[in-house]
Amino acid sequence: MSASQLYDNHGRPLNYLRLAVTDRCNLRCFYCMPEEGIKYLPKKQLLTFEEIERLITLLAEMGISKVRLTGGEPFVRTDLMSLIRRIVSIEGINDVHLTTNGILTGPYIPELKSLGIASVNLSLDTLDRERFKTITRRDEFEKTWTTLQQLLRVQIPVKINAVVMDGKNIDDILPLVELTRQHPVSVRFIEEMPFNGEGNHYASLPWTYKKILELIRSHYPMLERLPDPPHSTSTNYKIPGHAGDIGIIAAFSRTFCGTCNRIRITAQGVLKTCLYDEGVLNIKNLMREGRSDDEIKAELLKSFSNRPKDGFEAEERRSGTPAIESMSTIGG
Ligand code: SAM
Ligand code: SF4
């Protein structure tokens, strides 16, 4: 149980932290990072494991009970497992989740299972090796696929994240849906957002959640809507008789802000109270200035009490730069 309940200024409970442990990655997914010229943060700009542990402990005392580790690719951070071991034992943290591209994840799956990791989100935008190579700019499909099989074998709940990209992987939507026939996996189609480090390349988003849904429904007219779990960002569906289910995430259209329960901490230790804001509090600096736990909590509370009502308001509040930074620094 959380020590207390935390609410924002719009009365939304906050209980979910997504923390990027690094901005580095072993893939170059074109919707997330430019192919070249990426300037990674110097290592001393990343939160240390001690700082992450302290921060999560403070947030757990304030009411955060669920943590997702993301990145960049979390498994490129040296000794990630020692951080996970620390986090699962923090009082008040009930669920620890991971988002990974699966390339380096395989050897750690038995320990993730024994540590009780609640679920893994695996990024997989295509089932075709050549398209995987085009999208991620690396020829690593087999490793991600093997990781998926291993996760299913040990029964760690797994969600596949597939970003829907015009002209790139539309032919993969139905094969990905087909995965749910045999496998107890949740396949989530995500609207492409402008966070690729370069800006939006569409005048208007061609594949909105509505269009993705229409395509799936036209092939599976029996598609059933599932009830929304609390604070879900996806609308969820099931094809009768299939082992798994399907979700569609309106990440660009931003239909889910009204129930948003999440905060983010970027790889450089900056708090974001909305995916679309530009970072509202540098917590790493506070810790390195020697601020006390109570002082840091007070600063966090101030930010939680000034949360934009939705992603559009967060974008308006940005002081200059548009929302185009690489998702590898935000964590998704
Ligand atoms: N490297 C890990 C991975 O790929 O799963 C974790 C970090 S990645 C930034 C987290 C999630 O953000 C992935 O599922 C990825 O597909 C998603 N993502 C990245 N850029 C995106 C974009 N421009 N629009 C929508 N989703 C994006
Ligand atoms: Fe790396 Fe994940 Fe971004 Fe792809 S989506 S480049 S795997 S951080």
What rounded mean pLDDT belongs to the chain? 94
CA of 295 relative to ligand 1 center, distance in Å:
33
Tens digit of each residue's pLDDT (9 = 90 or more) over 214-228: 999 999 999 999 998
How many CB atoms within 10 Å of residue 154?
Answer: 12
Best CA proximity match to 38, nearest among 48, 27, 49, 46? 27
327 CB within 6 A, ligand 2: yes
Q: Is the CB of 195 under 6 A from ligand 1?
A: yes
| Confidence class for position 82, pLDDT limits 50, 70, 90 | very high
| 332 alpha carbon – ligand 1 mean position (Å) | 5
Q: How far apart are CA 35 and CA 320, in angstroms?
A: 25
Minimal-distance CA residue to ligand 1 atom 21:
32
* Ligand 2 pocket residue status of 32, Cβ below 6 Å: yes
Distance 103 CA to ligand 2 centre (A): 11
Looking at residue 121, its pLDDT comes to 98
Neighbouring CB atoms inside 10 A of 158's CB total 23
Q: Which residues, 6+ apart, have CB-to-CB distance to 304 below 8 Å?
A: 6, 7, 8, 9, 14, 263, 273
Give the DSSP letter of residue 159: E
- What average pLDDT does range 250-275 have in this prediction? 92
Could you tell me the end-to-end alpha-carbon distance of the chain, in angstroms, rounded to an integer?
Answer: 26
Q: Is 331 in the pocket of ligand 2 (CB under 6 A)?
A: no
Q: Is the CB of 25 under 6 A from ligand 2?
A: yes
d(CA 72, CA 32) in angstroms, rounded, equals: 9
Query: Strand 262-265 relative to strand 245-249: parallel, antiparallel, unpaired?
Result: unpaired
Sequence-ordered list of residues with C-beta below 8 angstroms from that of 263, at least 6 positions apart, any chain: 14, 16, 17, 18, 64, 271, 272, 273, 304
In the chain the domains, ranked by start, together with CATH numbers, are 16-330 (3.20.20.70)
pLDDT of 1 = 44
Q: Pick from 12, 19, 16: which is nearest to 332 by CA?
A: 19
Percent of the chain surpassing pLDDT 90: 83
- Do the beta carbons of residue 156 and residue 185 sit within 8 Å? no
Expressed in angstroms and rounded, the spacing between residue 126 Cα and the centre of ligand 2 is: 14
At 197 the pLDDT is: 82
| Stretch 281-309: mean pLDDT | 98
pLDDT digits (tens, 9 = 90+) for 98-148: 999 999 999 999 999 999 999 999 999 999 999 999 999 999 999 999 999
| 298 Cα to the center of ligand 1, angstroms | 31
CA distance 247 to 250: 10
Confidence grade of residue 201 (pLDDT, cut at 50, 70, 90): low
Q: Provide the pLDDT for residue 138.
A: 97
